[in-house]
Amino acid sequence: MDAENKQIYGVLAEFRNPKELVDAASSVKKSGYQDFDTYAPFPIHGMEKAMGLKKSPLGWIVLGGALTGMIGALALMIWVMGYEYPMNISGKPFINFPVYIPITFELTVLLAAFATTFGMLALNKLPRLHNPLFNVERFSKASDDGFFVHIEASDDLFAEEKVKKLFQDNGATHIETVYDSE
């Protein structure tokens, strides 16, 4: 299938170094684009600010999982040992909090870990089995020594020529239109 019959996924631009990538991301954000991302082989200080990213809600998701584990463990143990099946063990009180600490701690950590894992997957919209960027030969450099910005065609302001011009103005070394593989 030739390029004219394929749907455009976006425009990908490569930059020489992290500073140029941060500057390009800032310029893309200032131009009003929302559906874009940057790719680099390592975290780059200041990229979140340049892209205008908000603080992640993952911390609140983890807190919710941890509190669910803690409250659930305590509630179950208090209900079972204090009310439903009270047992007199060595004359100790039916509701004995020091005994509940290890199980409460373990369930708090377990549910926080599950919340972290599944929350991260949901926030990152994973699993995604294929991304059209993987069809771009140069994009394999993103895990080694390449610095890329990609503006998706789903962005309301997307116009292929305007995006290419924006990337050229920001000093991109290579600009390529990415087509959806379907």
Distance CA 4, CA 65 (A): 49
- Are residues 109 and 148 located together in one domain of the fold? no
Render pLDDT for 72-88 as a digit per residue (tens, 0 to 9). 999 999 999 999 999 88
- Are residues 66 and 110 located together in one domain of the fold? yes
In Å, the largest CA–CA distance within the chain is 82
Q: Give a yes or no: residue 49 inside a domain.
A: no
Going by pLDDT thresholds of 50, 70 and 90, the confidence category of residue 6 is confident
User: Which pTM value belongs to this model?
Assistant: 0.78
The whole domain housing 175 covers 1-41+142-182
Looking up tokens 């425009």, which residue turns up? 11
The closest of 155, 154, 151 to 175, measured between CA atoms, is 151
Task: Give the model's pLDDT for residue 182.
Answer: 57
- Are residues 74 and 112 located together in one domain of the fold? yes
Q: Give a yes or no: residue 15 inside a domain.
A: yes
Q: Domains in the chain: how many in total?
A: 2
Task: Give the model's pLDDT for residue 50.
Answer: 97
Q: What is the three-class DSSP state of 11?
A: strand
